[in-house]
Amino acid sequence: MTKQELVTLAMEAMDHAYVPYSGYRVGAALLTRDGRVYQGCNIENASYTPTVCAERSAFFKAIYDGVRDFAEIAVVGGKDGVITGFFPPCGVCRQVMREFCEDDFLIHMGGADGEIKTVTLSELLPYSFSAKEHMQQDT
């Protein structure tokens, strides 16, 4: 799967967003190492804090299915579903990625005019806290 194809699947996921409060539609497409794709969208709440981001909803679908081996994720977002620039994962989503992914996990951010910016998890979340490294336990 190319990064363009993964971004296209993230764009498709934007249509599923539930965003009556912010109007920002966000979509994610999470690629497993064995080639499966889990799509996710943001789901907002009248009480605001229960809102879940697109990236985490994709991860949680996969985790529920027993999948924990991830290679890449594509993320796109924009007001009313219009992509005007990159939509980088929030800090909470980065920490969830840290829980299940290695340093070389790829994050593709889709921007306007088909532009894609790719970074690794270690670039997005340097000096991170992880169970594997800091809690001396098998995860």
Would you name the residues annotated as active-site residues? 55
By CB under 6 A, tell whether 95 contacts ligand THU.
Answer: no
- When binding is defined by CB under 6 A, the residue of 10, 54, 58, 73 that contacts ligand THU is 54
* C-beta closer to ligand THU: residue 23 or 135: 23
By CB under 6 A, tell whether 89 contacts ligand THU.
Answer: yes
Q: Least separation, in Å, of the C-beta of 24 and ligand THU?
A: 4
Residue 43, CA distances (Å) to 21, 82, 99, 107 in order: 10, 17, 21, 21
Closest among 52, 89, 51, 90 to 73, alpha carbons compared: 89
Stretch that binds ligand THU, among 20-28, 65-73, 105-113, 131-139 (CB under 6 A): 20-28
b/e burial code for range 98-131 (CB count within 10 A of at least 16 → b): bebbeeebbbbbbbeeeebeebebeebbeebebe
- Tell me if residue 116 falls in helix, strand or coil: strand
Written as six digits, the tokens of 113 are 């005019």
By CB under 6 A, tell whether 108 contacts ligand THU.
Answer: no
By CB under 6 A, tell whether 110 contacts ligand THU.
Answer: no
By CB under 6 A, tell whether 120 contacts ligand THU.
Answer: no
CA distance 9 to 81: 14
Q: What's the distance, CA 69 to chain centroid?
A: 14
- When binding is defined by CB under 6 A, the residue of 4, 5, 15, 22 that contacts ligand THU is 22
**Contact footprint for ligand THU (CB under 6 A):** 19, 22, 24, 26, 42, 44, 51, 53-55, 89-90, 93
